[in-house]
Structure formats: C-alpha cells, structure tokens
Amino acid sequence: MSILQLAQLFGFAADTKTVKQDGSGAEDKTLADLKKGQPAQVLGFQNAEHPSAQRLMQLGMIKGELIELLRSAPGGDPIEYRVMGYNLSLRRAEAAGILVEAH
Amino acid sequence: MTPTNRSHLIATDIEQSPQAVIAVIGNPNTGKSTLFNLLTGMRQKVANYPGVTVEKRVGELKIGARHFQLIDLPGTYSLAAHSPDERAAIDVLLGRIANMPPPDAVLVVVDATNIKRNLFVATEVLELGIPVVIALNMVDLAAAQNIHVDAAALAKRLDTTVIATIAAASGQNNLEPLKAALSEAVDQKTQKPWALLDDIKHAAEQLADDTNRQFTPQPSGDGETQPVAAYEVQRALIDKGGEAEKRLIAEFGDNLSLRLQTLRDQLSPDQTLAERDAHQRYAYIASTLDGIVQAPSGQLKSSWSERVDQFVSHPILGSLLFVLVMATVFQAVFSWATPMMDLIDAGSSWVTAQVYTALPEGAIASLLADGVVAGVGSVIIFLPQILILFAFIIVLEDSGYMARAAFLMDRSMRWCGLSGHSFVPMLSSFACAVPAIMGTRVIPDTRDRIATIMAAPFMTCSARLPVYALLIAAFIPQQHYVYGLINLQGLVLLGLYLLGIVGGVLTAFLLKRTVLRGSTPTFLMELPPYRTPNIKSVLLRLVERAKAFLIRAGTVIFFVSVVVWSLAYFPRSEILAAEFERQKLAVESSIQVEAEREQAIAQLDNELAAAQMEQSLLGRMGKTIAPLFKPLGWDWKLSAAVIASFPAREVVIAVLGTTYAVGADVDAEDASLRERVRNAAWPDGRKVFTPAIAVGLMVFYALCLQCAATVAIIRRETNSWRWPAFAWFYMTGLGYLGAYACAQLG
C-alpha cells in the first residue's frame, strides 16, 4: 500500500484522478517525492478543504511559494522543510497531499 | 469602549473593577510569553478556559498610576479554529468568555526574524476593530541575521502602532515605549475600519444582521444574550468545517449551513475561500513589506541555527544526542531530587516528633502529627521532582530543542496513535506521573494530550519502588542464573517495569482508536530557530507550575490524608488502652533488665496500635471489604492497608507496619516487617502471602491508580472530573484483575 493510498484511507488526500495536469511539461509531484536540497514550487493541495490544508495555507504554503526539503527524521518520517523563511515539519502522509513542481 | 456599551457582553456579576483589558496574541516562538512575563512579573493568575484544557493566563500591568489586565492568549498562526482548544483566542477577542469583557486593546507580538508569516495573524486582528499595538520583537536577533525592518514605515502602511522590542533573552529590555503605546491604544477606543477582503467582510456583516433579525437572541447558559458577531460569521465562511461554522449551525440550524456554502461559492468560485483568504493576505503582506524590509536574499541556509541543526536533527547523531539529553533529565529527576526529598521527609518526621513532645498524647496530637504534618509532607515531597523536571522542560522548550526531540521521536510514538510530542512527558513519568502530566502541555493536540495523560500513570514511578522493594525482598528468592549475571529478583522488577510500559502503551493505543479517535493524524510543527531562554521568564514559569500543583493537587491530597487519618484513628477503644496499660505495668515490674523491658514495652505499644487499628473505622472497612478482595487472596489487614494507601501507594508499608504490629515508622528495608509479612497467616494457619499473592499485590500496585496527587493533577489538566474518575476505575479495575489472575494461577 503506497503512502498516498494510506493518506487517502485516512481521508487526507483526495483521489489522484482529480489532479489537473496543465501540460506545461514540468514534473508534477507531491512534497513527499522531493529529494534533499531539491527546490520546488507549491502548486496546491489534493484536498484544499481539509483542515490541515487550510492550516498549511495560513502557514504560508500557498501557490507559487518556494519550498525545499531539509532533512528527514530516522526512518524517513517526518520530514523537515524550509518554506517562507522558516522550518516546518510534516509527516510523509501530509506531505503527500501537497502538490509541487520540482525544479 | 465604556462599560455601558459593552454591558450586554459582561455576565451579571462583575468581579473586577472596570479595569481596561489588553489581550496579547502572536505566533508560537515569538517570545510572546516572555514579553508577557516581563510586563506583568509575579502579578499573574493561571486558570483554564471553561470546558477546554487551554490555560488562561491573566496578569496585571502597571503603567504609571494605571492598572491594566493583560491576557496571554495561546500562541497561534491564525484566528482560524478547527478544535475547541483553538477557539479560546477568538472567544476572548470577541468577548464570548463569561466574566471576561472583550479587550480594549490587542498587543500582537511579531517576530522580526520571520515577519511575513507573523503578520498573517496581525492582519486578522486588525480587522476586528479593536485598537492594535504591534510589538516588533527580536529586532536584535533579526539585525544579527542582517534583517532590518523599518518600524515607522510599517506602522504607517498598516495604519497602527508598531514598537520595536528586543529579544527578552538579552536582558536589557526597555519596555517603556511599548507601555506608553498600550496606554494610548486603550484610550483610543476603536481602531479605524480596516478590511483586507471587503466583499467577505460585507457578506459576513449582512448574514450576521439577517440572522440577528430573524432570531431573537436566546439567553445562553450563563444568562446573557449574545448577538452573532459579524467576525464570527466571517470565520465560519473562511474556515469551512471549523469551530465557528459548527457553533453557528448548532445555534441556527442547517439552513445557515446552506447560506454559508452559497456565499462561499459566490465569493470564491474557483478556489476555496480559505485559499483566497490566504493568498490575498500574503499578497497584501508582501506588498506592505516591499521596500521596508531588508533581508539577505536566498534561504538563509548558513545561519547559526541551521548549522547547529545539521548535527542536532541528524538522524543518527541527533538521536544519540537525544538519548544523552534524556538520560541527563531522567537522572536529574530521579536522583538529584532524592536528597531534597529525604530532607523533606526528615523535616516532616522531625516536626511530627516535636508535635508529640509538645502536646499531650491524644486525638489532637495525632491529628496534627499523623494527619496534618504527614499530609503537608506528602504534598511538598513532590516539589523537588516537579521543579527539576520543569526546569529542564521549560529550558528545552524555550531553546527550541523540544521541537527537535518531537521531530526525532515522532515515528517511534506513532504506532500507538501518539506523536513525538508525547515522548518527553511519557519518559518523565518513570520518575513521577505528576510533573509528567503537568508536562503534557507541550502536546498541541487535545486528544493526544489526554491519551498521554491516561498512559503516563502506568509507568513505574519512584513511589512504586518501595512497595516493590519490600515485597520482592520478602517473597522472591535470591536465585541467580547465567553465572550470576541474572538475578530472579531483578527479573521480577524488570517484569513490573515492562508491565507498566505495556499497560500504558496499550491504553493510549486503545483510547486513540476509540473515544479519542481523531479525524486525521497531523503533525504540522514549526522547528523554531535556537534561542537562549530568558532566566527571569523560566523562573516565573517554574514558580507558576509549583503554585499550580500546591493549590490544586495539594488541597486534594491534604484532604484525603486527613480523611484517611480519621478513619485509622477513630474510634479509640479505652478498654483496649486500659488493658495494654495493665500489661505494661506488669512488664515493668516483672522484667529487670532495662533493655529487655524497653523492648517488651515497645512491642506492647505496637500491639496496642495494631489492636486499635483493627477496631478503627479503617479496620472495620478492611473487614467489610475483605470479601471483595478474597478472590485475590488478601486478608482484612491487607485490604485495610490497600484502602489506606489510596492517597499514596507507598503508605501501604506504614499501614502494614501498624497492622502487623511492628510500628508505623518502618521502611521497605525493615527486616522485622519482612519477617512479619512472611509469617502472616489466616486463622486456619495457611500463610497469607504465598509468592503468587505477593506477585499479585505487586501487579495490583503496578496497575492501580493509588495516588491522590495523580488523580488531582489529571483533574486539573483535563479540566473535568470525568477523566480522573475514568482513570481511577479503569486502572484499579485492571489492578484487581491482574492480582486475581496471579492468585488463581499461583
């Protein structure tokens, strides 16, 4: 069972089929797929109505914002990111609900 | 605002004089609480908001001849509320808390090193129409990172007062400009109308008006009528599924829910309203800061804090450091506290002895010595552990390390349904559950906090050790295995520790899957930059913790101690006393050797105490309740001792000492008590304590909640009697079943 499926099971992530593809060629990923030090830009949320998504937007996780993976805890989860000038830790399942464009 | 025009918001009985109220709000880790502590000093009161576990901290601020009431709101990134706990801030700001008028001014503490995110909540507060003062805090730390904010220009653009303050840790605070600004803001009465998203604000106002016209406000529980505030409707619109929406729907029905959704679709057709709100707010902040903030470009990767984190948050090195830090904390709480606790113990014994020499023997001397002094002693004996553990917790929290610990430990706690935040409180409960439960305040999620509080008392605390020590020494044979490396007594002790861990973890696991099940396990946590804690603020919080414990837990423990004393003391039998007096006289005349005579008299005294105990209320209760404990193999003496040990497990030793007539001043290492307990027999000559019964008794004490301090502190921290009652019956029930299983299997 993939992490995304697990996230869907917990109601965090919406069905992946609803994700829009703009065909720009840039690779659409989720935050959980980022590699260390790889900068990315926030595109949006799988489920923007989820309370966590609302909270994350208030924390600065809005479309166009730059984000970078700093490190992960033992076992690869949770993961620490740098966004809007501060460090934020997210569980992998939560990160999988955030769509990004990796550079 | 004058008292008249807000009178509809104040409950009928106003306790305080109409003192101006200033609310303090800001993001977590902005130095908000430190600033609050520096402004109010010792003039603070801590209580809980009604119905939730959030601390309500109120202090007094003196500016010249004027006195203001300062309310420290919980740290928050936004006024959005998705849990009852998060509602506290908005409830205070809208004047919805009983006996608390709405604030006359709001102090928003903003961290200059991270001004963009910090201004988010500031712009929300500005929309409330209450005068606002922004404290641009930590400008010195910002300057050290080459971040410079033009406070005057910011004030002009936001159309409010902005005062630069420096990080409290630097110790050279000049708070006069801030105080003057606050004083001025209170006099200002209203903030100029300020709205970032005009259409949302207007829609909310209209809906609030409609609702208020349609429904005559009903008197709520506390007898006041509250019209719907426009801002609450605005929050309900933005925070879909949040607290504001839930409450409005509960009050006005599903019709309102439909109207809210229709409005949301109109106001924001192609993205959620929360998304639009966040976007526009951050866009506004970016344009406001444009040209008045100079910051080094890029992501500041080489900052000092960032370099430290390469080591501290490293999966391997960081974990090693964490083990080291925890070992130090554990060691400190466990052993540094011991000399102080021994001192308190010795002190209370000394006072007891003084009472007995000063007063004639009788009920009053016994009440003072064994009831009052022992009761007070059993309360303050917890202070060393509380103070030491909290000194560590506060410093670890204020320095930013606690967030790293939660980050590293999150995965290991997750399988039982908890998060990394629960690790440190859980570990501390191996020393004592009381400070550990008080320490669960570091856990942001209420459900996690309650699950941790329910699991913590299972861990083997220092009060269980004397009980284990006595029973293991008496009943578990000294057997060694594997060339003497493994000792059976040690194995039993290890087993009892493991039993506690398994009990606690399973309890958390079950609770998180049943009554405490949450919608989504979230772990959004800021890892704040490392900072030096402010000594004064740390000390103030230490004093506050100690006070909270002494007042809330202390009164309960004291009361229970006196009740148990009365049960054990009354009624006194004069006939028994006279009978033993006669025997004593006989001994005095018959035994010539002084040492022997004294020993015989002491023995008679102990036997008198045992006889008195047997016919005391406690003894009778023990006999009455003994049938209930019969399946566990306990006689009435043991049953009475278990009842008497309700206030504290370790008391069982003293009570066993009295009932088995070896005197109450025994300790776990006492050979005569060990001997007596080993030889105790039923009337038909069978031994009371078989190894199975002894193990059963230890299992009982491992699982039961015989600790008034823990019960009282659960009451305080969960703000209801429901959880402590559940914990007591659940744990004591488990203890009973465990002891029963041991008795039957043995």
Read off the pLDDT of residues B99-118 as tens digits, 9 standing for 90 and up: 888 999 999 999 999 999 99
The length of chain A in residues reads 103
Say what the ipTM of the complex is.
Answer: 0.79
Mean pLDDT (whole number) for A1-14 = 47
Q: Range with the lowest mean pLDDT among B368-382, B396-410, B664-678, B695-709? A: B664-678
User: A68, B299: Cβ pair inside 8 Å?
Assistant: yes
pLDDT at A26: 53
Helix (H, G, I), strand (E, B) or coil at B707: strand
- Alpha helices in B514-663, H assignment, sequence order: 535-548, 554-569, 574-590, 594-615, 617-629, 636-644, 651-659
Most confident range (mean pLDDT) of A5-19, B94-108, B161-175, B512-526 is: B94-108
Read off the pLDDT of residues B529-572 as tens digits, 9 standing for 90 and up: 898 888 888 898 888 878 877 886 777 777 777 888 888 888 88
DSSP symbols for B297-366: SS--TT-HHHHHHHHHT-TTHHHHHHHHHHHHHHHIIIIIHHHHHHHHHHHHHHHHHHHHHHS-SSHHHH
- Residues in chain B closer than 8 A to A66 (CB atoms): 299
Mean pLDDT (whole number) for B347-359 = 88
Total domains in chain A come to 1
pLDDT at B667: 65
**How near does any CA of chain B get to the CA of A26, in Å?**
22
Confidence of residue B689 (pLDDT cuts 50, 70, 90): confident
Question: φ, ψ for residue A78 (rounded to 5)?
Answer: -70, 180
Express as a percent the part of chain B with pLDDT over 70: 92
- Residues in chain A closer than 8 A to B301 (CB atoms): 82
Express as a percent the part of chain A with pLDDT over 70: 73
Mean pLDDT (whole number) for A16-22 = 42
Residue environment code for B679-706, b if the CB has 16+ CB neighbours within 10 A, otherwise e: ebeeeeeeebbebbbbbbbbbbbbbbbb
| Three-class DSSP labels, B90-143 | HHHHCCCCCCCCCCCEEEEEEEHHHHHHHHHHHHHHHCCCCCEEEEEECHHHHH
Whole-angstrom CA distances from B92 to A11, B3, B21, B86, B711 are 32, 17, 11, 11, 30
Whether residue B689 contacts residue B475, with contact meaning beta carbons closer than 8 Å, is answered with yes
The length of chain B in residues reads 746
Confidence of residue B304 (pLDDT cuts 50, 70, 90): confident
Mean pLDDT of chain B: 84
User: A10, B239: Cβ pair inside 8 Å?
Assistant: no
**How near does any CA of chain B get to the CA of A29, in Å?**
20
Strand partners, A81: A69, A88
Q: How far apart are CA B692 and CA B739, in angstroms?
A: 9
pLDDT at B51: 67
Read off the pLDDT of residues B126-139 as tens digits, 9 standing for 90 and up: 999 899 999 999 99
Q: How many CB atoms lie within 10 A of CB B432?
A: 27
Q: Please say if the pLDDT value at position B357 is more than 50.
A: yes
Q: Please say if the pLDDT value at position A20 is more than 50.
A: no
Residue B215 CB-half CA count within 13 A: 17
Q: Please say if the pLDDT value at position B372 is more than 50.
A: yes
pLDDT at B615: 86
- Residues in chain B closer than 8 A to A86 (CB atoms): 114, 117, 526-529
CB-CB: which of A58, A68, A85 is closest to B116?
A85
Q: Range with the lowest mean pLDDT among B166-170, B328-332, B370-374? A: B166-170
Strands (E), B2-54: 20-26, 44-48
Strand partners, B288: none
* Closest chain B residue by Cα to residue A87: B527
Calculate ∠ Cα B85-B89-B91, nearest 5°. Answer: 90
Q: How far apart are CA B334 and CA B328, in angstroms?
A: 10
pLDDT at A17: 37
pLDDT at B504: 93
Q: How far apart are CA B298 and CA B734, in angstroms?
A: 58
pLDDT at B206: 93
pLDDT at B145: 85
Strand partners, B648: B707
Residue B111 in tokens = 């961290």
- Nearest CA to B204 among B235, B176, B230? B230
Q: Please say if the pLDDT value at position B10 is more than 50.
A: no
End-to-end Cα, chain A, rounded Å = 28
- Residues in chain A closer than 8 A to B274 (CB atoms): 48-49, 53-54, 57-58
Read off the pLDDT of residues B224-234 as tens digits, 9 standing for 90 and up: 557 889 999 99
User: A74, B319: Cβ pair inside 8 Å?
Assistant: yes
* Closest chain B residue by Cα to residue A9: B520
CB-CB: which of B80, B420, B525 is closest to A54?
B80
Q: Please say if the pLDDT value at position A2 is more than 80.
A: no
B78: buried, middle or exposed (CB in 10 Å: 19+, 13-18, 0-12)?
A: buried
pLDDT at B214: 81
pLDDT at A14: 42
Higher pLDDT: A63 or B481? It is: A63
Which amino acid, residue B725?
A: A
pLDDT at B664: 65
pLDDT at A10: 47
Question: φ, ψ for residue B132 (rounded to 5)?
Answer: -120, 135
Confidence of residue A23 (pLDDT cuts 50, 70, 90): very low
CB-CB: which of A12, A54, A94 is closest to B239?
A54
- Nearest CA to B233 among B220, B251, B221? B251
- Residues in chain B closer than 8 A to A59 (CB atoms): 77, 117, 524, 526
Higher pLDDT: B157 or B188? It is: B157
Cis bond leading into B269, ω under 30°? no
What is the radius of gyration, based on Cα positions, of chain A?
A: 13
B129: buried, middle or exposed (CB in 10 Å: 19+, 13-18, 0-12)?
A: middle
Question: φ, ψ for residue B228 (rounded to 5)?
Answer: -75, 130
Q: Range with the lowest mean pLDDT among B10-14, B261-265, B393-397, B697-701? A: B10-14
Mean pLDDT (whole number) for B441-468 = 86
Whether residue B61 contacts residue B141, with contact meaning beta carbons closer than 8 Å, is answered with no
Q: Please say if the pLDDT value at position B337 is more than 90.
A: no
Strand partners, B105: B22
CB-CB: which of B295, B314, B524 is closest to A59?
B524
Mean pLDDT (whole number) for B424-438 = 85
What's the CATH code of the domain at A67? 2.30.30.90
Domain of residue A27: give its range.
3-102
Higher pLDDT: B476 or A94? It is: A94
Q: Please say if the pLDDT value at position B28 is more than 80.
A: yes
Read off the pLDDT of residues B715-727 as tens digits, 9 standing for 90 and up: 988 988 999 999 9
CATH number for B7-188 (one of 1.10.3090.10, 3.10.129.10, 3.40.50.300, 2.60.120.10): it is 3.40.50.300
pLDDT at B737: 95
Confidence of residue B439 (pLDDT cuts 50, 70, 90): confident
Higher pLDDT: B313 or B224? It is: B313
- Nearest CA to B610 among B620, B600, B619? B619
pLDDT at B8: 41
User: A57, B242: Cβ pair inside 8 Å?
Assistant: no
- Residues in chain B closer than 8 A to A56 (CB atoms): 524
Higher pLDDT: B523 or B12? It is: B523
pTM: 0.80
User: B242, A51: Cβ pair inside 8 Å?
Assistant: yes
Domain ranges of chain B: 7-188, 198-267, 554-745
- Residues in chain A closer than 8 A to B117 (CB atoms): 59-60, 84-86
pLDDT at A27: 60
